[in-house]
Amino acid sequence: MIQALLTYQFLQHAVLACLLASIVCGIIGVIVVEKKLLMMTGGIAHTALGGVGLGYLLGFEPILGAAVFSTAAAIGTGFVSKKGGKNTDITIAMFWSLGMALGVLFIACMKRYPPDLNSYLFGNILTVTSINLYIMAILTFISVIIIFFFFNDWKAWLFDSEFASISGMKTTLLEYTLFILIALSVVVLLRVAGIMLVIALLSVPAATAALFTSKLETRMVFASIFGIFACFSGLYLSYRWNIPSGAAIIVVSVSAYLLLSAVHAAAARTKKHTVCTAA
């Protein structure tokens, strides 16, 4: 595979895409999991299909359309969830299905032969173009900068947003920034895992990292490392056996999580047993 990697540009793109996706799923994934925003993220991801469809219909880069649609969905659901009440769930469901419906409609309106949506729905890391890569790199860079420059603000806000608000911190700004960052990370992960599977890349590495550390920053680093492992293994399997990359990545990461959490539980039990018998 090393030889192939040096020869084929599509594989080099795939490797770079894996790295970028892992960074994002590590950092934003941990925040999404801690803030319990997974369903909202799922909604934002699915809305992106509308943008992909519009891109194909009007002839611009579909991933840019996805960025616009998911950002709109993020701000929309964010606004409703801030207002509180039971409507958040309904709004998520509406964006979720409306985005997908629009995507399908836009594609159906095309005069040309319709494109294959599978690579957007389930991801295909082997078809990442250089434009995709540029967009992914810029969005990853923006996300990393925003999180790290204001890390202590994020930490304070994530732990207790009410207290942060009383201290005079700009909590509404942080909240909407987070919603937009989630939308951007969905776009970064789109070509790697696909609309349907993005939510797994944002949750599984973060959940795996949570088994090993109770420190926010370390958890982000660990989650990125697990992300890299999952993406590279998925890439390898996908290249080797010609299977869809998104599916391979998710199967690898979920299996790794299950295995590690079983080991973790067993280790905890042994430790407890040792402590109890010693006492």
Positions touching other proteins (CB under 8 A) are 34, 85, 149-153, 155-156, 158-160, 162-170, 173-174, 210, 213-216, 219
Q: Which is nearer to other proteins, 37 or 250 (CB)?
A: 37
Q: Looking at beta carbons only, is 89 or 153 nearer to other proteins?
A: 153
CB of 82 to other proteins, least distance (A): 12
Cβ neighbours of 98 (radius 10 Å): 16
Least distance (Å) between residue 148 CB and other proteins: 9
Question: Judged by CB, which is closer to other proteins: 130, or 172?
Answer: 172
Give whichever of 75 and 211 is closer to other proteins, judged by the CB atom.
211
Q: Is 224 helix (H, G, I), strand (E, B) or coil?
A: helix
User: Smallest gap, in angstroms, from Cβ of residue 26 to other proteins?
Assistant: 14
Provide the 8-state DSSP code for 123.
Answer: -
Closest CA to 187 of 248, 251, 114, 123: 123
- Give buried/exposed letters for 63-80 (b at 16+ CB in 10 A, else e): bbbbbbbbbbbbebbbeb
Closest CB to other proteins among residues 191, 219: 219
- Least distance between other proteins and beta carbon 165 (Å): 6
Angle at 99 between CA 96 and CA 104, to 5 degrees: 125
Cβ-contact 46, 100 below 8 angstroms: yes
d(CA 181, CA 272): 40
Cβ 169 to other proteins shortest distance, Å: 7
CA-to-CA distance for 143 and 128, rounded, in angstroms?
20
